[in-house]
Copies of this chain bind each other. A is one copy, B any other.
Amino acid sequence: MQSNTIYEPVQEDLNKVEDWLRSVSKVDFSWLAKLLGYSLKGGGKRIRPALTLLVGKFYNYNLDSLLPMATAVELLHTATLVHDDAIDKSSVRRGRPTINTVWGEDAAVLLGDYLFAKAGELAATTGNLQVIKLSAQTIMTISSGELNQAFNAFNLKQTREDYFQRVSSKTASLFCLATESGAILSQAPEKSIKALKGYGHNLGIAFQIVDDILDFIGTEEELGKPVGSDLAQGTLTLPAMLLLERYPEENPVKSLFQNRDKQENIGLAIELIRTSSIVQECYGVASDYCSKACHNLSLLPDNAIRQALVQLAEYVINRKR
């Protein structure tokens, strides 16, 4: 199933989010307008704003606050991508040159700052202090998770626990914000807020695991960036961890992390992972998180929205990009 079929219950309002994103780019300063337009142009899956809107449908669906929040969540996501690319010196994202490649790292840092702040402004227009604080805390969690990743680059001594901690901070936290804010802004009961936050958390972890798998098994065309980017950055993800567990002595990941010049090890690691059962095992872990996510929904009304969220969990596993 395609994500746009799943989004059907909120598709009309997701189009409004696109309008809002376009209006964010309409600023007087022409360079800023150009950078904003480039970074916010379609190509993303818009899964996070879709989550905020879908979750909002369970209770009091109030677009006055849900629309700015859904837009804010997408802006936060975009800001993190822009900064990540600058930090990693990545040259391609979604098949297009990154902001840092076209306009320089300085422009990327400042654009990201602007996007974070614009997200904060939009979160503030919800008028809901809890959601405003959660938004700020989510950026703290994400940057802290990314910092953890940066300080652990090329570090072989990382446990699965470290990995899940990092994934939780850098990815799942924003999925949490998307669902929790949707629940809070639609005045969901406390138990439902907690359940939907749990759904966001588990879905986010599954999403990142699949991202980490695709970085090994996808094609450059599907990924919109080079295969094996994580290893090139020295980021130890679940598939690479499993490979290290299986071959603790002679291992291309180990060799690469000990000698970063040995770039040919990236290709070797990709080949070993692709031809082993590691991929299947990782998908198993991701599926478990998706099952947990669906389980979180059990106390929610059993309606078309809940069905869409279950389908979204399936989509997260089956997606190719």
Once the chains bind, are B151 and A31 in contact (CB under 8 Å)? Answer: yes
Chain B residues with CB under 8 Å of A113's CB are 83, 112-113, 116, 139, 142-143
Once the chains bind, are B87 and A106 in contact (CB under 8 Å)? Answer: yes
* Partner among B129, B132, B147 whose Cβ is within 8 Å of the Cβ of A111: B147
A199 to B143, CA, bound (A): 35
One of A118-126, A208-216, A256-264, A269-277 at the interface: A118-126
Chain B residues with CB under 8 Å of A87's CB are 105-106, 109-110
Once the chains bind, are B129 and A143 in contact (CB under 8 Å)? Answer: no
Interface residues of A, CB < 8 Å — how many? 44
A227 interfacial by beta-carbon distance below 8 Å: no
A124 to B136, CA, bound (A): 9
Once the chains bind, are A150 and B116 in contact (CB under 8 Å)? Answer: no
Q: Which residues of A221-275 have CB atoms within 8 Å of chain B's CB atoms?
A: none
Once the chains bind, are B140 and A110 in contact (CB under 8 Å)? Answer: no
A104 interfacial by beta-carbon distance below 8 Å: yes
Once the chains bind, are A147 and B107 in contact (CB under 8 Å)? Answer: yes
* Partner among B110, B116, B129 whose Cβ is within 8 Å of the Cβ of A147: B110
A133 interfacial by beta-carbon distance below 8 Å: yes
A32 to B88, CA, bound (A): 19
Q: Which residues of A144-163 have CB atoms within 8 Å of chain B's CB atoms?
A: 144, 146-148, 150-151
Closest to A123 in B: B136
Chain B residues with CB under 8 Å of A42's CB are none
A114 interfacial by beta-carbon distance below 8 Å: yes
Once the chains bind, are A127 and B124 in contact (CB under 8 Å)? Answer: no
Chain B residues with CB under 8 Å of A105's CB are 87, 105
Chain B residues with CB under 8 Å of A127's CB are 129
Check A107/B151 contact, CB under 8 A, given A113-B116, A133-B124, A144-B29: yes
A278 interfacial by beta-carbon distance below 8 Å: no
A117 interfacial by beta-carbon distance below 8 Å: yes
Check A146/B83 contact, CB under 8 A, given A117-B116, A140-B121, A151-B31: no
Chain B residues with CB under 8 Å of A29's CB are 144, 147-148
A281 to B125, CA, bound (A): 44
Once the chains bind, are B121 and A133 in contact (CB under 8 Å)? Answer: yes
Once the chains bind, are A104 and B137 in contact (CB under 8 Å)? Answer: no
* Partner among B114, B133, B146 whose Cβ is within 8 Å of the Cβ of A140: B114
* Partner among B112, B138, B150 whose Cβ is within 8 Å of the Cβ of A106: B150
A86 interfacial by beta-carbon distance below 8 Å: yes
Looking at A27, A110, A146, which has the most chain B CB atoms within 10 Å of its CB? Answer: A110
Check A137/B117 contact, CB under 8 A, given A107-B151, A132-B124, A147-B107: yes
